[in-house]
Amino acid sequence: MIVMQWYCIMKRPRRLRRTSWMRDLVREYAVTPHDLVLPLFVADDEMLQRGGESLPGMDRLSIPQSVARARDAARLGIRAVAVFPVVAASSKDERASGAFDPDGIACRAIAAIAEAGLELGLIADVALDPYTSHGHDGLVERGDVVNDPTVSALCRMAVLLASAGADVVAPSDMMDGRVGRIRRALDRSGHQDVAILSYAAKSASSFYGPFRHAMGSERAEGSLDKRTYQLDPGNSSEALREARLDIAEGADIIMIKPALHGLDILRRVRDELDVPMFGYHVSGEYAMLCAAADRGLLDWKSALHETLLVVKRAGADAIVTYAALEAAADLARPSHAPRARPS
């Protein structure tokens, strides 16, 4: 009788981790400079103080400085910048009148960057909160943020920004029905090629504070709660419904915000919907990394790149991050040496 002996072959997954070249060959996800979007805070002279310790490295920029910063981004391979206007309190009112000024800071900055002829896209934020005295993303009437009048205002604003040279308009307000109406307004005004990046799932997060401080767009004391229009952070199915609605209305790309605190939503949208998707690595998430690196609790460079990688792994096609320049420079010139966080 011939006795067959079976041997269990020990699996050794570490074979694929032993060397850097093998790890590179089998890596499932990677972040490149092409995956990054750089926010720009653009301001007139009277508002050109630094963004403060809340957002290290994110200064408020003059228009010439914003063009130079965009040029730096393009040189590093970043494919788009997102323009956010910093508006003086004296120029704000309850009706967000400054949002409709063709000579406002946002329009002038977009026009200047567009005229520079850089190989990158221009994304314009479409929301009223930089211009409202109460700090809300919409118009307030009878003690409530009113939906349809706000949407009409957003349509005017989107057309104005597109006329200034924006390639993409990004409604970040979370009003119902605004994507479809903005799409029709853009088409009627001859801007059929301008894309819509919809903040489809923007949670009422605690992690926006440093951005609002840097922008000077804090909600007025005692005013309405933004939870009446932004998503409950506890709801992921609702986020998916919002994304489906925006796609049906004509959104070309959708945004999930915040990204780190919305990794599960990024994954659900990626698995269930066929649409390009961005994740916003928001100010509070960024500031926490800076603060921990300052205290020596983690290595700034490795923690930053791991953060961007997990957002990409969760499903984001691109990542809006305040660390875009730093990350792109590292990716262009790989180095294992620790780096200090931006000062």
Nearest CA among 43, 36, 54 for reference residue 214: 54
Given the residues 92, 202, 301, 312, select the one marked as catalytic.
202
Specify the 3-state DSSP secondary structure of 259: coil
Specify the 3-state DSSP secondary structure of 95: coil
In the numeric block, the tokens 């609002």 are attached to 212
Specify the 3-state DSSP secondary structure of 255: strand
257 in catalytic set = yes
The two tokens of residue 197 are: 């990046």
The two tokens of residue 4 are: 């067959």
Given the residues 92, 257, 301, 312, select the one marked as catalytic.
257
202 in catalytic set = yes
* Three-state secondary structure string covering 21-80: HHHHHHCCCCCCHHHEEEEEEEECHHHCCCCCCCCCCCCEECHHHHHHHHHHHHHCCCCE
Strand blocks (E) in the chain:
36-43, 60-61, 80-86, 121-126, 140-141, 144-145, 168-171, 195-202, 253-257, 277-281, 318-321
Taking every pair of C-alpha atoms in the chain, what is the biggest distance, in angstroms? 98
Active site residues: 202, 257
